[in-house]
Structure 1
Amino acid sequence: MKNTIFTFTDHSPKYKQIYEKFKSFIEQGDLLTNEKLPSIRQLADSLHVSRNTTLMAYEQLVAEGYIRGEGRQGYFVNELEPLISQEAFILPHPKQTESVKPPVVNFRSDAVDQTNFPLKIWRRIANQVLTLPDSYRYGEPFGEACLREQISTYLFQSRGVKTNSDAIIIGSSTQQMLVYLGQILKEEFQSIIVEDPGYDGAREAFQFHRFMFEMLPVYETGADFSQIEQMKSRLIYITPSHQSPIGVSMSIQQRQMLIHWVNKMCGYIIEDDYDSEFRYTQKPFPALASIDSARVIYLGNFSKSFLPGIRLTYMVLPESVLHRYKKYYSHFESPTSLFSQLTMAKFMELGEWNRHVKRMRLVYKRKMLHLVSELKKQFGQNISVIGEQSGLYLLIKLHLDRTEEWLIKRAFSYGVKVCPTSLYFIKNKSDYPIIKLGFSHLSCDEIELGVGLLKKAWIS
């Protein structure tokens, strides 16, 4: 070995510094393949360290494949591929262009109100949960019994859905649940009716299993069921309480008609009840699953109403699907956090969930009214407001000779980020561009500022 001076520092253990130095010698070619290294004793004496220190360094090098031990012969350098310079992995600096500033106001629809989030309560309950023995194990494959029981009670009280906790499945997201569900349903069904416009994430999940689509047109006045009797599909995915994205709610007559249709077809309704908690004009409508639980697969989640990052979704399965689902996925691990499930279960048990929903309904209603007021004041007859009765976003149809792309780019140039809606439409295209405005995380001052900037951007 070449004569090299070791200089120890105080920043890391000496064995690690020896390991790093020898690793560098080997990678740079200063130590050649099959070259013999000093013995543990020799190296320890020369560096004035303990033999245990040099032994630990050699053991680390052996474990990573840099050297090998050959019994009493000692340690030898292994063959390595030539070291590729780290510079090769450094991406070239992009050309200095005009810097992109973050938007002043972001009308995103994937966030909730942070100011009113029950942080102290949630943290206190989470800390208590961490003291429980149940927190230190793997979760149940279909969700924790304590959370499923709380959801069962809540669904009966708030949505009129009567279900046994054993029929509830806990997952991480609506898409994940639909992908898992699709694997079961595709054994019996080849096509599905979806809303147009409708939630694109659901379509992606069904497309994953190669379902064919039939379209149910949805307008600002509601869904058009006039052609459903002529459709071949016996499976339908629908958002009846707050249609995504139009925001209309299905009337009781339409709900009864749909239940009659699905029973006649011996099919299933997949009811996505993603944000039914936030209705501002009347109480939340009863769920379809409260009318007929035998033919309705019910989906709900905590992302919109509580916290997107918690990744907790639930599904209520009819008995005819439940048995197949549990048999198929009995050996799969739970896709969601055990810790989040236990904390949410205790949160609901203590009544904090109901208190949170009631409080946020008032908070979001105030924001929605303020947004609608500002839009009408600034834009007048140039826009139509869609979906102001419920939810955490609304749509605005702009009666302008502009494209959706132009409106979004123009808004961003004025410091405002807005969301497109074209991704929701399949065939049932709108006559004017429609923009989506989420407001849940914004203050009333930010809403006012954002709408004012949109007015400057779009009507100057």
Structure 2
Amino acid sequence: MKDFIFLFTTGEAKYKQIYQQIKTLIEQRNLKSNDCLPSIRKLADTLQVSRNTTLTAYEQLVAEGYIRGEGRKGYFVNTLEMIFSQEEMMPYQPAQKVRQASIVDFRAGSVDQQYFPLKTWRQMANQILQLKDSYVYGDSFGEQRLKEQLVHYLLQARGVKINEEDIIIGSSTQQLLVYLGFLLKEDFDSIIVENPGYIGAREAFQLHNFTMEPLAVNENGTQLQQLAHLQSRLIYVTPSHHFPYGVSMSIQQRQALIHWAKEVDGFIIEDDYDSEFRYAQQPFPALASLDKSHVIYVGTFSKSFLPGIRLSYMVLPKSLIGRYKRYFAHFEQNASSLHQLTMASFMEKGEWTRHIKRMRLIYKHKMSFLVETLKKQFGDHMTIVGEHSGLYVLIKFHTHHTEQQLIQSALEYGVKVYPTSPYFLQQPSHEPIIQLGFSNLKLDEIQLGMQLLKKAWCTN
């Protein structure tokens, strides 16, 4: 009969600890096949626990096949074929921190938590929960109340005149593009994408095995003259605020792109992901306001309101909407109907307009402060790209260091900054470009981040 020592810790039931320690002894072969275990009474007396505690531990081990009971003889270890690797049998040890925890995180894609209308949103969500509509499955293509509000909003803010039946609600831009791809690949086998551009869209198109033709974009704009040399009749663009350069298409470029779509009898997928936040002028009208028949318009609440709400929408031309609805007539809606109805109420009562106006001023102030601080800290050592709109800037750093070296140096000083190289279809050969998001940072955090980056990048 084996005698062994048990060590108890706080926070977990003792029978579980007894079970786990005997199990470990068996798996590590410290207890071998047919070894006799202490009786329930003896083990309880030794450990100063109740007999029910040791009985429960033994019963769990018996149920899992680690041990067996033989009448009056006692409990014995079963033969166990060892299929565990040495690594799996090692006792758990917490991972050691190898890096300093970040002090300032310049992550793009977040929103300002301090100014989120939490109280108003919670009140409206509670009111929505009192409606009968909250206790049934929602419409497959989106809640009617939200569509009605989007019709008014898109006309007023983006110049797009549509009907409710043209709108599809989804959980994210990427999810909508994946669904859309099933429809489009019947008529298209390739697509033109911006280079650099949004990875999430490229991944959605790649899932459908679309051949992707790159259309060059730089800080001066989209190189639309390249369209004459491309074969695809389908194009994905971010015309109001290119991702990631931040440039906007002029009215002449927009008209030229619409003309191209008509000439090739194709479609433009317009991703209007954060058009609300333009600081120098009013937001530009959407491409879809110029031609609804050749533009598939996609918008989202993730950037302007809350990423976690998982709420986006798509406006389809008349030639596609019927086919889309036949394709997905029997698919459940994957965006929360509760969030849809709450957002509809939020818009109905004017809270959405007030929120956007308030956040535009707040983000404009943060953008100005970030740009001013960047210039003060780095001067001619860098060029700022995209400072007139959006929730991030790019900095082109004039240095012999690589993008990864800059990111690593910043991290050693407790600052997280982000690469832009993944946005390129080919590895860029130019100077490293770093992305700095600012939306969820306070001004003092931005200033601290800049001071730390100065130490990280100007002392190497």
TM-score for the superposition, normalised by structure 1: 0.83
Report the Cα offset of residue 177 of structure 1. 0.8
* Per-residue deviation, residues 126-184 of structure 1 (Å, max 9, x unmatched): 11111111111112111111111111111111000111111111111111111110111
Per the alignment, residue 264 of structure 1 pairs with 263
Separation of aligned partners in 2, 1:137 and 1:91 = 49
Per the alignment, residue 217 of structure 1 pairs with 216
Separation of aligned partners in 2, 1:109 and 1:31 = 60
Report the Cα offset of residue 452 of structure 1. 1.0
| Counterparts of residues 167-246 of structure 1 (less than 5 Å) | 167-246=166-245
Aligned with 2:145: secondary structure?
Answer: helix
Separation of aligned partners in 1, 2:259 and 2:348 = 36
Which residue type is aligned with residue 268 of structure 1? F
Number of matched pairs: 407
* Per-residue deviation, residues 179-198 of structure 1 (Å, max 9, x unmatched): 11011100100110000111
Per the alignment, residue 287 of structure 1 pairs with 286
Report the Cα offset of residue 354 of structure 1. 0.6
Per the alignment, residue 54 of structure 1 pairs with none
Report the Cα offset of residue 323 of structure 1. 1.1
* Per-residue deviation, residues 256-312 of structure 1 (Å, max 9, x unmatched): 010011011110000000000000000000000000001100000000000000000
Q: Is the alpha carbon distance of 1:84 and 1:449 closer, same or farther for their aligned partners in structure 2, counting shifts above 3 Å?
A: same
Aligned with 1:226: secondary structure?
Answer: helix
Report the Cα offset of residue 427 of structure 1. 3.6
Separation of aligned partners in 1, 2:397 and 2:63 = 67
Separation of aligned partners in 2, 1:404 and 1:447 = 21
Q: Which runs of 5+ in 1 are unaligned?
A: 8-14, 36-80
* Per-residue deviation, residues 210-255 of structure 1 (Å, max 9, x unmatched): 1011111101110011121221100000000000000000000000
Q: Is the alpha carbon distance of 1:26 and 1:97 closer, same or farther for their aligned partners in structure 2, counting shifts above 3 Å?
A: closer
Per the alignment, residue 145 of structure 2 pairs with 146
In the alignment, structure 1 residue 378 sits paired with structure 2 residue 368: no
Which residue type is aligned with residue 179 of structure 2? Y
In the alignment, structure 1 residue 329 sits paired with structure 2 residue 328: yes
Separation of aligned partners in 1, 2:157 and 2:388 = 18
Preserved CA contact (<8 Å) 2:300 2:313: yes
Preserved CA contact (<8 Å) 1:241 1:276: yes
| Counterparts of residues 333-372 of structure 1 (less than 5 Å) | 333-372=332-371
Separation of aligned partners in 1, 2:90 and 2:322 = 52
User: Which one is further off, 91-100 or 356-365?
Assistant: 91-100
Separation of aligned partners in 2, 1:237 and 1:89 = 47
TM-score for the superposition, normalised by structure 2: 0.83
Preserved CA contact (<8 Å) 2:181 2:205: yes
Separation of aligned partners in 2, 1:152 and 1:19 = 62
Separation of aligned partners in 2, 1:263 and 1:26 = 70
Preserved CA contact (<8 Å) 2:277 2:391: yes
Report the Cα offset of residue 30 of structure 1. 3.8
Aligned with 2:225: secondary structure?
Answer: coil
| Counterparts of residues 392-431 of structure 1 (less than 5 Å) | 392-427=391-426, 429=428, 431=430
Aligned with 2:188: secondary structure?
Answer: coil
Name the Cα RMSD after superposition.
2.7
Which residue type is aligned with residue 338 of structure 1? S
Per the alignment, residue 457 of structure 1 pairs with 456
Preserved CA contact (<8 Å) 1:197 1:428: no
Which residue type is aligned with residue 122 of structure 1? W
Preserved CA contact (<8 Å) 1:217 1:428: no
Q: Is the alpha carbon distance of 1:335 and 1:89 closer, same or farther for their aligned partners in structure 2, counting shifts above 3 Å?
A: farther
Which residue type is aligned with residue 256 of structure 2? M
Per the alignment, residue 255 of structure 1 pairs with 254
Per the alignment, residue 38 of structure 1 pairs with none
Per the alignment, residue 154 of structure 2 pairs with 155
* Per-residue deviation, residues 87-115 of structure 1 (Å, max 9, x unmatched): 99676546875543321100001211000
Which residue type is aligned with residue 337 of structure 2? L
Preserved CA contact (<8 Å) 1:196 1:428: no
Separation of aligned partners in 1, 2:265 and 2:62 = 72
Separation of aligned partners in 2, 1:91 and 1:205 = 40
Task: Kindly report structure 1 stretches of 4+ aligned residues shifted beyond 2 Å.
Answer: 17-32, 81-85, 87-101, 427-430
Which residue type is aligned with residue 144 of structure 1? E
Separation of aligned partners in 2, 1:141 and 1:267 = 27
Aligned with 1:299: secondary structure?
Answer: strand
| Counterparts of residues 19-30 of structure 1 (less than 5 Å) | 22-27=59-64, 28-30=66-68
Report the Cα offset of residue 18 of structure 1. 9.7
Per the alignment, residue 435 of structure 1 pairs with 434
Separation of aligned partners in 2, 1:398 and 1:118 = 37
Per the alignment, residue 75 of structure 1 pairs with none
Preserved CA contact (<8 Å) 2:293 2:317: yes
Question: What percentage of residue pairs aligned between the two structures are identical?
Answer: 57
Report the Cα offset of residue 406 of structure 1. 0.2
Aligned with 1:115: secondary structure?
Answer: helix
